[in-house]
Amino acid sequence: MSNSSHYGAEMFRPISVMLPRLFRRQLWSGLPLLAKILLVVNLLILVAITASGMLSYRVARDALRQEIISSGSRSVAVFAQTNTLDFLDEQQGPLNLELRLDKILQSETKKRVLSAFALNRKGQVIAAAGDRATLPHLSEATLRASDMVPRVLSQTGERTAISAAVVYDKVLLGYVLFSFDDAPVSEAGARILHQSVAITGTFLLLNFILLFMLLRVVLRPVVQLGAAAEQLTRGNYRHRIATALSDDEIGKAARSFNTLCDTIELHMRFSNAALVDRIRTGGAVDDVREHQLSIVFGDAVGYTRWSHQHSPTDIFGTLTRYYTCMGRLLVSKFQGIIDKFMGDGILAHFGLLTNSTPAEGQPIAHVQNALRAVIYAQVVLRVLSQTIRVFEQRDPLVYRFSIASGRCLVGAMGAQEIMLDYSLIGDVVNLAARLEAIAKPGGLVIDRFTFLDSGEGFLDVVDSGSQHIKGVDTPIQVYSVRGLKSRPEIEAMRNYLVEEFFDDAVIESLLCVSRSEQDKRTTLREIIAREIEQNPHLPTP
């Protein structure tokens, strides 16, 4: 073999060894728990039954062979004792012996005698019946070994040769040798083997079915526990193990998992799921990093006066409806993060979940998402306000928003080991809070960086000029947003709000119009059409 071929063989040898191992490992790890238990248990049972069957086969085979040897020895001994005189008669004796040997073969068929021989004292054949080729090789020492009692001279697996000495008045006259067929041993072994295979297969099949049914019941909580854990890792904190649980260890583990999910869901209801997922997959919780973000600040106009006119229950319910509408757009639709609710105010930011670096001169995606979210939200809040005014005869809330873009620090802040708040600080956050105060009710104002980063032709704005903002040293260029500028963006907003956002669930839970109230639904559809299709713009100075 050449050096190159030897090198190739050595190079591929680890691959040939590793691939089967990798395949077995991946195949085994990918099997369900129920399949693994069934395979292991049935394999152990198969090994036990196979070992028992092999032992039974050996015992039966040896017993049958011993029975052939025992009965054969008796036949040989009887023949040797009853035909002594024929060994003395050198003329008629051989003929008589051959006739009697033939008769033995005919009468001893059940004992499967293949051949029979009469030998003189030197081991020479003087009479024979049957197949002479079955006569084993006989040495003088072998013959002498059978002088006293019948002996097994040979066993080939196909036949057994047994001989006995012919003795008269303590004088050795010759020998008698019978060759017996071992086929009964093989046939009996084959029958035992076939029966063992049939019994083993039947037992394994029944065992598999019964064990499968039993384990399905026993392991159902374990399987559901694994599925629930997988759902939990995917962020589905409402998944529970609903099967009736026993009081054993598996049932206790499943109950503990349900309790854990209850606790996690409780915490998640007071957290931002998107932010939690970002922290979980984005690195260490204690990291404080600088990010380029768009900060959204919203506040209700005249909230103090409005709150004096309503009960705490009405205030709580109304704010919940407004915040839910905002959250569906800011978080669920446009990948924003609500940092906190502050009474009637809301602080959110965009860019932490979709932080990317665009090409120079290209619009920034998270800035556009922040603008879309607020513009969509203002249209939705107008529909909600009109619904409250028309159907509930109450004064609604009107929100105004601001967006400022820039760099700020984001991380876990608060009392270590007591309570942390994953929040953000920076001048851009303060600017967004100050800008909101100069927006028109129902409107949106943005700073210069937000306008530039949104890209040319994205927004329809009114230049409100440079303005002195409280808490900011230098004048800030401010733009009042009328809405989206391009027709595709406007159509996308209309289609989403009409076809997806205002579904039956929103109409019933947030707008409080049930399916049975057909007149209200007709009026509501008119309000939605008017606010979305006829009046898509936001108020500006």
In this structure, what CATH number is given to the domain that contains residue 125?
Answer: 3.30.450.20
Are 462 and 319 found together in one domain?
A: yes
What the block records as the tokens of 240 is 């529970």
Domain that holds residue 430: 286-534
Are 430 and 519 found together in one domain?
A: yes
Q: Point out the domain boundary residue: 181, 216, 237.
A: 181
Are 441 and 304 found together in one domain?
A: yes
> What is the structure's pLDDT at 15?
47
Rounded CA separation 304/291 (Å): 34
| 273-288 core/surface letters (b: 16 or more CB in 10 A; e: else) | ebbbebbeeeeeeeee
Are 88 and 1 found together in one domain?
A: no
Tell me if the pTM is above 0.75. no
Are 153 and 296 found together in one domain?
A: no
Split into its structural domains, the chain has a count of 3
Are 325 and 177 found together in one domain?
A: no
| Contact by Cβ (8 Å): 259, 287 | no
Looking at residue 295, the DSSP 8-state letter turns out to be E
467: nearest Cα among 484, 451, 445, 483:
445
Residue 117 included in any domain: yes
> What is the structure's pLDDT at 289?
82
Are 346 and 476 found together in one domain?
A: yes
Residue 292 included in any domain: yes
Are 481 and 372 found together in one domain?
A: yes
Are 482 and 373 found together in one domain?
A: yes
Residue 261 included in any domain: no
CATH number for the domain including 413? 3.30.70.1230
What the block records as the tokens of 237 is 């904190």
Are 160 and 90 found together in one domain?
A: yes
Residue 476 included in any domain: yes
Are 362 and 499 found together in one domain?
A: yes
Residues in the chain: 541
Residue 338 included in any domain: yes
How many other C-beta atoms can be found within 10 angstroms of the C-beta atom of residue 126? Answer: 18
Per-residue pLDDT of the chain (541 residues; tens, 9 = 90+): 445 445 444 544 554 554 455 445 556 566 666 677 777 777 777 777 777 777 777 777 777 778 777 877 888 888 888 888 888 888 888 888 888 888 888 775 545 788 888 888 877 888 888 877 767 766 665 566 555 456 676 666 677 888 888 888 788 888 888 888 777 777 776 777 777 777 777 877 887 787 777 777 766 767 777 777 777 666 666 677 766 666 666 677 777 777 777 776 665 565 566 666 666 665 555 667 888 999 999 999 999 999 999 998 999 999 999 999 999 998 889 989 898 889 899 999 999 887 666 767 788 999 999 999 999 999 999 999 999 999 989 999 999 999 999 999 988 777 776 777 778 899 999 999 999 999 999 999 999 999 999 999 999 999 999 998 888 888 999 999 999 999 999 999 999 998 899 888 888 888 888 888 888 888 888 888 888 887 888 998 8
Residue 199 included in any domain: no
| Contact by Cβ (8 Å): 429, 292 | no
> Would you call 180 exposed, middle or buried from its count of C-beta atoms within 10 A (0-12, 13-18, 19+)?
buried
CA angle 267, 270, 276 (to 5 degrees): 70
Residue 493 included in any domain: yes
> What is the structure's pLDDT at 119?
84
Q: Point out the domain boundary residue: 181, 208, 224.
A: 181
Q: Point out the domain boundary residue: 165, 181, 197.
A: 181
> What is the structure's pLDDT at 37?
74
Residue 121 included in any domain: yes
Q: Can you tell me which residue has the tokens 């039954």?
A: 49
Rounded CA separation 486/372 (Å): 12
Are 21 and 116 found together in one domain?
A: no
| Contact by Cβ (8 Å): 531, 498 | no
